[in-house]
Structure 1
Amino acid sequence: MPSLASIVASAVVLAAAASAVPTQHCAPGTSWFSCGHYAGCFDADPCIAAPSPTPSSSSSSPVLAAACPTGTASIDIAPSAIHDIFPERPSHARGPVSGIHLETFSNASQVEQAVVFTGIPAAAKSCAVGWKQAGRLERVFVFRGSDGVTGVRQLSGFPSDGERVTHDSLQHFDTADELGALDFANWDETGAAGHVGATVDCAESMYFKFALRNVESETRVFLGQDDVNGWVISYTC
């Protein structure tokens, strides 16, 4: 049976060959734009004269300050950092990483993720956390298992710069109830789609933990993160 690494490697080659962007539907008077961390419907091109990059905490690279769409337009902002955490190895750290990665096996949640979103405008409202996927030839998406339901928990804070991001170091911030859930099952077999898991109070920086709910399901999920795939916060202004 092919390993996850070989499946992903093959999919990367296939994804690299594709260049089209899936068609997006916007309200009258707005158009779809996608560049950097901008991906949404706007009445003007946010990719022209974008704000200068500003550093963000626990991020692997600078993040552009997000645009604030007008009217009913909305925008998706990608994470500034994603970290794998390991409940069965609570002091182990891996990250920042470049995609969604969740696993359960041996009757336990083995790989969970802590995700950082920064640069959200102070005027943002109607915020929601979720994930999105592009067309089949524009992504690296692997789902194996029987249950892809994933719990979403908001963290009250995040380890400081220079501190390892581990299951242990997040415990102080992981005190809230679960906000909702997302489901990855069988979505690897479909085309482009967006998925909203829970609405949240908007803030300029937000932190979340994602984990598969059913630890007996022997499930693994991988989706490469880019402008049109992966974790997102959606908002309006």
Structure 2
Amino acid sequence: MSVAIENFVKAIYKNNNNDVNDTKPGNIAKKLGISNAAATDMAKKLAAKNLLNYEKYQALQLTNKGEKMALNVIRKHRLWEAFLHKTFDMTLHEIHREAEFLEHETSDFLANKISDYLGNPKFDPHGDPIPNEKGEITTIDTSISLSNTQEGKQYIISRLMSDDKEFFDFCAQNGLKYGNSILVTKQFSKNKMTQISINNNTILLNEDFTNIIYVNDLN
């Protein structure tokens, strides 16, 4: 399949499994940086290939075949991120950028070799789950967004859901890393901001950040 097709089904899968939860052609077009007309044409094309279900003005839904393709691409992407992070100590933005290219050029055979080499990891360096070779995500996600945490509780950072360089640079500079612990010291519900303590530093985050930083209860 072409890179465009793989990116299209991947975008539908990811939008359907995160807080966006909107897979209408217009939203997929925005995510991929293409026109609405191009997204609609692609949706019709992929419906003919039995990769998704298309109805005018309705959200796009992947078929089993389409979901399997999306998970296969995602598996390769996240395995490359884990490999690049471990081997070259590249930043979170750098590994994402490079994996966007590598995911389309990787055979299933090589993906399995990378997974074996890494010890078959369950998560990538962003905290995103890595599907197994059968296209299954075997982990259970119990994380919540930082905006939904409670004051006075400690949490472990479990996921950084972004591909923005400035966001990752900020996280790196402030110790906001997958697996690190934080203390939520204050929730400013009216202003939609969260104050946290990490590494003896106090940081105030707005909802643009707290909605894409996910954590698990430390206790």
- Structure with the larger RCO, 1 or 2 (CA within 8 Å, 6+ apart): 1
Report the structure, 1 or 2, having the larger helix content.
Answer: 2
What TM-score, normalized to structure 1?
0.23
What TM-score, normalized to structure 2?
0.24
Q: Give the greater-gyration-radius structure (CA).
A: 2
